[in-house]
Structure 1
Amino acid sequence: MKRRPVCLVCLLLMLCLYVTDLAGISMISGNPLPASVQKYISEHLKLTVNGEVQSCQATENSLSVYLKQVFLTVGSEQIPIENIKVYLNKEEQLRIGMVLRVCGKLEEIPGPGNPGEFDSKQYYACQKIYYQMKNGEICGKSAAYSYFGQLLQEIRQKAESILDEAGGAYAGIFQAMILGERGNLDAETKMQYQMAGIMHILAISGLHISFVGMGFFRLLKKAGAGNGVAGAASAFLIYAYGMMTGGSVSAMRAVGMFLVLVGAGIAGRSYDLLSAMALSAIVLLLDAPAYLYSVSFLMSFGAVIGIGAVTPEICSMLNLEKRTEKSLAGSVIVWLITLPIVLRAYGEVSLAGVVLNLLVLPTSGLVLASGIFALPVGIFVIEIAKKVVFPGKCVLFFYEKLCEVVGWIPHSTWIAGSPKLWQCVAYYVMLAVIFAGLKWRKKTAREKAMRSAASVILVILAVVFLGYHPREGLMIACLDIGQGDCCVLKMPGGENFLIDGGSSNKKNTAVYQILPYLKNQGIATLDGIFVSHTDKDHISGIEEILELCAQNLTTVHVKNLILPDWNTTGEKYERLKMLARQSGIQIQTGREGKLLKTKEVQIEILAPENGADGSDTNEDGMVMEVHFGKFRGLFTGDIGAETEEKLLNSMEDVDFLKVAHHGSKYSTCQKFLDVVRPEIAVISCSAKNTYGHPSADTIKRLEDRGAQVEYTMKSGAITVRTDGERIWLERFTD
C-alpha cells in the first residue's frame, strides 16, 4: 500500500461511506433529500420542475426522459432535487441540453418488495435519481440546447439504425455490445446468456475502450501525430464514446483507466493498473456514493483486480506459462473473486461460464470489431455493412448454440442462495489465507504438489461454505407481487412448495419476483406447485415458470403441478396441464381429504369437495392446511363466505391465515373467524387496486378476533418462521 497510496485512499473512502450508511446517513441508500422536501413532494398531487434533458428514449407507451440538475419550483423558490426520470404522456421533439419545465406528480423510486428482486431504488440512486414523474406534461422548453450532446445522440441513433438493419436477428446483441443499448435484447437471449455465464460480454467494458481508444491512438501515431496530440484526441474520443453509450459504471471505469494510461504516456510516467483502477473508483464514488452497493461497480472492479493483480501472481507461483493455462487460471480466479457478489445479487452462478469464457472472450473481439467497422460502411452502403458484420453474426450463432447446450446440461448453474455478509467476509479471508499459503517458499516438488492440492481443497470448501444455508423449522413467505397471491413454503426436511403465483397488475411476475426470490433462498427445486384456482392473479406467474421450464430457460426445477380436482375444466386449466406435460412435470389433483406428507410436515387439502364442478373458480378453489408440530397454517385462495361456512366442521384454531380473496369484504366471515382464530393474518394485495381490497370491514373483523394483520402492499414480503411451537415474523421492507 505504501507504493500505491491511491489504493489506500480508495479503501478508506469505501470504509467511510459504509460507516456513514450504518450510521443512517443517506448517502448510499435511501433518499438524501431533506425530510421537509420529501414531505412536500409526497403531499402535493401536482408539482412543477425545471431540468436539463440528459437523454430521452421512446418506450412502448410513452417517451422516457432523464432530466439532470432538476429544481422543484415552490412559489418563487427553487429547491434542487438532483435528477429525475419523466415519462411524458405524448411525443415531443426534444434535444439534449434543452431546459424543460414539466408538470406532474412526483413519486419516489420504489425499492424491491421481495428478497432477490431487482433494486430499482439503488440502481437509480447511482444516477442520483430519487424520483420519477409519470404522465408528465411539458409546460415550457428552451430553444437552446447542447450541440455536442445532441450530436452524440444523433450519432447513437444512426448507429442503432445501421446495426438494426445490418445485424438482422442479432441486432439487439450488437447494439448492446457496441452502444450499451439493452432495450432491444429479447428476454430469451438475456436468460440464455445469464445461464451460460457470459452476460458480461454485453456490457461496455475495457475490451471496447482499448479496442476503440488504442486503435485510434495507433492510427494517429501512424499518421505522424505526436504522443500529446494522439493521446489527447483518443482520450476525447473515448470520453465521448463513454457518454454516448450511457455512461454505465463498467464503461466509465474503463474510460477512467484509459485516461490515466494516456496521461501517463503523455507525461512520460509509468502506468500502474491498480492505481488507475483505484483512481477511477474514487472519482465514481465521490460523484455518486450509491455505487458502493452497485453490483455492476463491484463486479467490474472485482474482475479488474482478478485479471490485473491476482492472476499474474498465481500464474507466477504455479509456473503457468502456456496461454491456455493462464486463460483458465484467469477465468477461475475472476469467478472466485466475484462469486460472493454474484450470489448476493442473483442467488445463482453459472458453473459452465468458467469454461465457456475460454471460448467466448477470445472471440468476442471479432463480434465487436465487425459491428464497429460496419458502422461507417453502413452510412453509405448498407448491403456492404451486412457483409462486414457477417463474421460477427457467425460468432454469435456459435454463442447461441453454446447457450442451448448449457441449457440442456444438468447442474450447469448452481443455485446457492444469497450468502450473509459475514459469510462473504469469511470467504474472502479464506481466499487470502490460501493465497498466502501459495506464496510461501516451497523447497521440494512434493511439497509444492501437496500445497497446491491443499489449496484446491480449501478453495472448494470455501465455495461450499458460501452456499451453506441451514434450515431451521418451517418457513412461509407471502411474496409481494401486486394484486395477486404467491406463497413459498420451505420445509425443515428440505422440500419446497409454491402455493399460487400470479398478479393482475404486474407483468412477468415469475421473472422479476418469484424466480429471483427462489434463487435468493437457494431453492433449486420445487417439489410441487399448488394452484388454488385458475384466475389470472393466481396463475400468471405459474404459467411463466412452466413456459420457461419447457424452453430450458430457468434453472429452477419443478417436480409436480397440483391442480384442484374439478369435474369441468376450462381453457386456463387445460393450458396449465399442457405446459406441465411439455416440461415433463407430473400433474396431480387435490380435493377434500387428500394428504401430502413430507419428512416433518403434513399438508391436508380441505377443499374442493368431492364432485366440485369448477364453475365458480373462487368458491371451488383449493384450500390447504399445513401441520408442523403444534403449528397450523391455513391457505384459503379466493374462497368466499359460502365455502368458509361449508368448511367450519373441518376447521380448527390456526396460527397463520393467508386471508382469502385479498381481504375482500365477501370473505373471512365472522363465523369462520370464530372457529379459526388466527394469530397472524396476511393480506396479499396491491396498494393501488380497483376492487377496494382490503376491505375495512374484513380488517376490523380480523383485529377484533385478535389477529395481527400484515399486508404485502405495506411491508413487502411477509415471512413467518416456526419451529413447531414458537413463531417469528419478518417484514422485508422493514
Structure 2
Amino acid sequence: MRERYARSGLAHILSISGLHVGFLAAWLALLLRKLGLRPSHRPIASGVLLLGYLWLLGFPAPALRATAMLVVDDVARLRQRVAAPRGVIALSALVVLLIDPLALHSVGAWLSVSAIAAVIWAGRATAASHWGVRALAPAAAATLLTAPITAFAFGTVAPIGVLANLIAIPLGAIVVPGLVIALAVSWVVPGLAALLAAGSGLGLALLDLTAQGAAAVPGGHVIMVPGWGAAGVWLAVAVVAWWLWNTPRRPWLIAARVAFVTTVFVATTLRDVVTLDACRCLTVSFLDVGQGDAAVLRTPNGRWIVIDGGPRIPGSDAGRRVVVPFLRRHGAGRVALVVATHGDADHLGGIPAVVETFQPELVLEPGEPLGRPLYLEFLAAVEGSGARWHAARAGDRVELDGVLLEVLSPDSVWMTLPLDVNEHGVVVRVTFGATRLLFQADAGLPVEGHLAGRVGQVELLKVGHHGSLTATSDAWLGELRPREAVISVGARNNYGHPAPEVLGRLRRWGSEIFRTDQAGTITFTTDGQRTHVDVRHHD
C-alpha cells in the first residue's frame, strides 16, 4: 500500500499531515456555526479541540504547522487585521521550531512548509485564470516545489499526483473527519459510530481505487537515486517552470522558450541512450547497497531476476532505496525470480520491498525457519504477492530465456547440520552460453569444502561473505579460477571487509577485483562468449 500511494502522489493522505488538520478545522468551523456559537468564541473552541488532536498525535511538525497557521489567521480575523500569507507561514514555522527544534531535520516539516507556500502562491497567482487552471495550479505548484526535497530524501517524485489529488483530496475531506468523529462517539453512541465508520470505509475504498489507477499510469512516477543529484534535477525543473510561467504573454516568446527547453531536454536525455536489445545478452548488475548484497540479472528477452535485496536498518531500506528504483529505471514491470540466499538482514532486508512492488513469479530461499521478525515479514510479503515459494535445494534448476540457474547448495542433509545460517545459504551457479558465474552469498569454508570438485571454472565469482577471512580459500580459487571477482561491501565498514589476505589470494590467482565500495554499481554483460564489465557510477 505504501508503494502504491507513493507512486500515485498520494502519500500525504496516509501520513499525519497538515492537510488532515485542515479537514478537521473546516468541519469544526461548520459544526460550531451550526451550534450557534458566537463568532468570537468559535476560534477559541476550535483551537482547543485542535490542540487536543495534536496532543493525541504527539505534536508532529506538519500538523503543528497547520494548527499554528489556523490560529494566527483566526486571531487576525478577530482583530480585523490582514494576515500576509508569507508572514503567517514564517510565524508558523517559527512556532514549530520553538516547540521542536529537531523539526529542522525533519523531511515532513520541510515538505509541509514548502507545500503550503506553493498552494497559497498558486491560488493567488491564478485567481483570475480559467477554472481549470485554478483547480490544477495548487497541486502542480506543490509538486514542483516539494520535488527537490522528495528527490533528495526518497528519490521519488510523482507528477501524476497533480491529477490524482483532484479526486483524493475531496474524498479525504470526508473520510478523515468521518473516522475521527466515529472514534469520538464510539463510547457514547456505538450505532452511529458504526454507521460513520461504514461510510468512511466506502470513502477509503474509493481513495484506494484512485491510488491504484494513478499508480498504474505509465511515467506518472519518477524514481531516482536519492541525493543531491536527484534534487538538482528537480530544482532545475522547478526553475524552468518558474521561467516559463513568468514569460511575457506573447505567443511567439512562449513558443520560443518551450522549444528551447525541449531541445535542451532531448539533447541531454537521449544523448547516451542505447537500446537494451542491441545485444542479446545477459546483464548482471551488482548494486551498491552498502554493507550487504543485491544483484539484478536481465535475461536476453528482458526478464528480471533478483538475488538478495541488500540491507535494511532503521531509517534505510536498500530494497526501497536502491533495488526498486534500479528496476523501475530500467523498465522492469515484473520480476520473474527472486532468490533470497539466507535470512541475515544484510541480504534479506530489502527483499520484502522488492516482492511487494514487483510480485515475482517464483521465490527461492533456504526454507530455514528462523523465527526472526524480518524473516516472518518476508514470508508474509511472499504470500501477499501470490508468488510461488520453494525451498531451494541442490539440484534445483530454473531456466529463463537461455539463462540457467542451478542451486549447488544446500542439500537436504546439509540443512540438518548445526551450522551457522551463512552456511545454509543458497549458492547459485548461473550459466549463459559458455559463460558461468557463481553467486556464493555468505557461504564460507565449510561449504567450499563440501562443494569441492563439483563447481568447475567460472568467469565471475561473487566473492563469499563480502571478502571475509571465513571464505575464499586457495583451494576454492584453484578450482574456480575466476577472471573477475566482485566484492559487495560497504565503505569503511566495521568488519574489516574485504580482508587483505582474501584480496591477496584473488590477485595471486589472476582475478581482476571489482568492489562496490570503490566502483559503485558494477555491471557485467555477456553474449555467452564475450564479456564486459562496466564500473561507471551510473546508478
Q: TM > 0.5 between the two? A: yes
Q: C-alpha deviations, 1:17-42, integer Å up to 9, x for none? A: xxxxxxxxxxxxxxxxxxxxxxxxxx
Does 2:449 correspond to 1:642?
yes
- After superposition, the Cα gap between the structure-2 partners of 1:683 and 1:481, relative to the gap in structure 1 and judged at 3 Å, is closer
1:502-557 per-residue CA deviation (whole Å, 9 max, x = no partner) reads 88xx7999x94323322444355288666668655599679746853xxxxx2x47
Query: Which residue of 2 is the match for residue 268 of structure 1?
Result: 80
**1:501/1:459 Cα in 2 relative to 1: closer, same or farther (>3 Å)?**
same
Q: Distance in 2 between matches of 1:580 and 1:644?
A: 35
Q: Given the superposition, is the C-alpha separation of residues 681 and 343 from structure 1 closer, same or farther in structure 2, using an over 3 Å criterion? A: closer
Partner of 1:239: 51
Instruction: Please list, as runs of the form range in 1=range in 2, the aligned pairs for 1:388-403 lying within 5 A after superposition.
Output: 388-403=196-211
- Contact 1:345/1:418 (8 A) holds in 2: no
- Whether the 8 Å CA contact 1:315–1:329 is kept in 2: the answer is no
Match of 1:525 in 2: 332
* Residues 701 and 607 of structure 1, relative CA distance in 2, 3 Å threshold: farther
Alpha-carbon distance between aligned partners in 2 of 1:233 and 1:582, rounded to the nearest angstrom: 50
Are residues 1:477 and 2:312 paired?
Answer: no
Question: SS of the residue aligned with 2:53?
Answer: helix
What are the Cα deviations for residues 214-240 of structure 1, in whole angstroms up to 9, with x where unaligned? 66567379756463x544454344334
In the alignment, residue 399 of structure 1 is paired with which amino acid? L
Amino acid at match of 2:249: K
> Contact 2:309–2:323 at 8 Å: present in 1 too?
no
Q: Deviations over 1:219-273 (max 9, x none)?
A: 379756463x544454344334323222112101101212221232243321122
| 1:296 CA displacement | 1.3
Residue 452 of structure 2 aligns to a residue in which SS?
A: helix
Aligned-partner Cα distance in 2 for 1:273–1:595: 62
Output the CA distance in 2 between the equivalents of 1:680 and 1:547.
25
| C-alpha distance in structure 2 between counterparts of 1:410 and 1:371, whole Å | 29
> What amino acid sits opposite 1:417 in the alignment?
M
What residue is the counterpart of 1:428 in the other structure? 235
Report if aligned partners of 2:157, 2:222 keep a CA contact under 8 Å in 1. Answer: yes
Q: CA deviation at 1:348?
A: 3.6
CA contact (8 A) 1:346 1:520 kept: no
Which residue of the partner structure matches residue 337 of structure 1? 145
The 5 Å alignment of 1:150-165 reads none
User: Is the 8 Å Cα contact of residues 427 and 439 (structure 2) preserved in structure 1?
Assistant: no
Q: 1:312 aligns with which of 120, 124, 142?
A: 124
2:254 counterpart of 1:451:
yes
1:425-574 to 2 correspondence within 5 Å? 425=232, 427-442=234-249, 447=251, 451=254, 455=258, 458=261, 476-477=286-287, 479=289, 485-488=293-296, 497-501=305-309, 512-521=317-326, 522-525=329-332, 535-536=342-343, 544=352, 548=356, 554=357, 556=358
Q: How does 1:193-208 map to 2 (within 5 A)?
A: 193-208=5-20
Question: Residue deviations 1:318-341, cap 9 Å, x none?
Answer: x31x2x542223333322332333
Summarize the alignment of residues 134-173 of structure 1 with structure 2, pairs less than 5 Å apart. none
Question: Do residues 702 (structure 1) and 502 (structure 2) align?
Answer: yes
Deviation at 1:308, TM superposition (A): 0.6
Residue 699 and residue 596 in structure 1: after superposition, are their counterparts in 2 closer, same or farther (change >3 A)? farther
Q: 1:672 aligns with which of 456, 464, 476?
A: 476
The residue type paired with residue 505 of structure 2 is R
Q: Cα 1:415–1:529, aligned 2, differ >3 Å: closer, same or farther?
A: farther
- Alpha carbons of 1:579 and 1:286: their partners in 2 closer, same or farther (altered >3 Å)? closer
Q: State how far apart, in whole Å, the 1-side matches of 2:428 and 2:221 are.
A: 33
1 CA distance for matches of 2:15 and 2:368? 45
1:409-441 deviations in whole A, cap 9, x for unaligned? 462653431365255345434533443444344
Please tell me the residue identity of whatever aligns with 2:319. Answer: I
Question: Post-superposition shift, 1:289?
Answer: 5.6
Give the aligned partner of residue 360 of structure 1: 168
Structure 1 segment 203-352 matched on structure 2, within 5 A? 203-213=15-25, 219=32, 223=36, 225=38, 227=40, 230-285=42-97, 290-314=102-126, 316=128, 319-320=129-130, 322=131, 324-350=132-158, 352=160
Amino acid aligned to 2:47 = A
Give secondary structure in 2 for the equivalent of 1:650: coil
> What is the deviation of 1:309?
0.2
For 2:428, which of 617, 622, 628 is the aligned residue? 622
Q: Alignment partner of 1:303: what SS?
A: helix
The one-letter code sitting in structure 2 at the alignment partner of 1:401 is L
Question: Gaps (5+ residues) in structure 2?
Answer: 275-282, 370-378, 416-423, 525-531
Contact 1:562 1:590 (C-alpha < 8 Å) held by counterparts: no
Aligned partner (choices 183, 195, 199) of residue 387 of structure 1 = 195
Secondary structure class of the residue paired with 1:622: strand
List aligned pairs for 1:35-184, cutoff 5 A.
none
TM-superposed deviation, 1:366: 1.6
AA partner of residue 196 (structure 1): S
Distance across 2 between alignment mates of 1:216 and 1:607: 62
Q: CA offsets, 1:39-96, max 9 Å, x none?
A: xxxxxxxxxxxxxxxxxxxxxxxxxxxxxxxxxxxxxxxxxxxxxxxxxxxxxxxxxx
Retained in 1: the 8 A contact 2:175–2:203?
yes
Deviation by residue 1:330-373 (Cα, 9 ceiling, x = unmatched):
33332233233333333344454332211121232222332343
Q: CA RMSD in A?
A: 5.8
Question: Following TM superposition, by how much is the alpha carbon of 1:387 offset from its aligned partner in structure 2, in angstroms?
Answer: 2.1
Cα distance change of structure 1 residues 403 and 592 upon mapping to structure 2, 3 Å threshold: closer
Cα distance change on mapping 1:383 and 1:361 into 2, 3 Å: same
Shift of 1:454: 5.8
Displacement after TM superposition at 1:294 (Å) = 3.0
- In the TM superposition, residue 382 of structure 1 has moved relative to its aligned partner by 0.8
Query: Is residue 476–residue 487 contact of structure 1 (8 Å, CA) maintained in 2?
Result: yes
Contact 2:290 2:489 in 1 (8 A): no
SS at match of 2:287: strand
Alpha carbons 1:343, 1:349 under 8 Å: kept: yes
Matched with 1:182 is none
Q: How far apart in 2 are the matches of 1:438 and 1:334?
A: 15
Q: Structure 1 pair 700/435, CA: closer, same or farther in 2 (3 Å)? A: closer
Cα 1:301–1:192, aligned 2, differ >3 Å: closer, same or farther?
same
Aligned equivalents of 2:234 and 2:426: distance in 1? 51
Distance (whole Å) between structure 1 residues aligned to residue 57 and residue 263 of structure 2: 39
User: Following TM superposition, by how much is the alpha carbon of 1:389 offset from its aligned partner in structure 2, in angstroms?
Assistant: 3.7
Closer/same/farther in 2, CA of residues 518 and 251 from structure 1, 3 Å limit: same
- Equivalent-residue separation in structure 2 for 1:570 and 1:209 (angstroms): 47
Residues 705 and 475 (structure 1), Cα distance of their counterparts in 2 relative to 1, 3 Å cut: same
Change beyond 3 A, Cα 1:530–1:429: closer
Please say if 1:719 is aligned against 2:520: yes
> Residues of 2 paired with 1:592 and 1:374: CA distance?
54
3-state SS of the aligned residue for 1:525? coil
The 8 Å contact of residues 508 and 541 in structure 1, kept in 2 or not, is answered as no
The number of equivalent residue pairs is: 491
Structure 2 vs 1, CA of residues 467 and 518 (structure 1 numbering), >3 Å: closer, same or farther? farther
- Alignment CA distance shift 1:196-1:683 (3 Å): closer
Q: Is the 8 A contact 1:532 1:622 kept in 2?
A: no
Higher strand proportion: 1
Residue of structure 2 equivalent to 1:157:
none
Residues 115 and 146 of structure 2 are in contact (CA less than 8 Å); yes or no, is this contact kept in structure 1?
A: yes
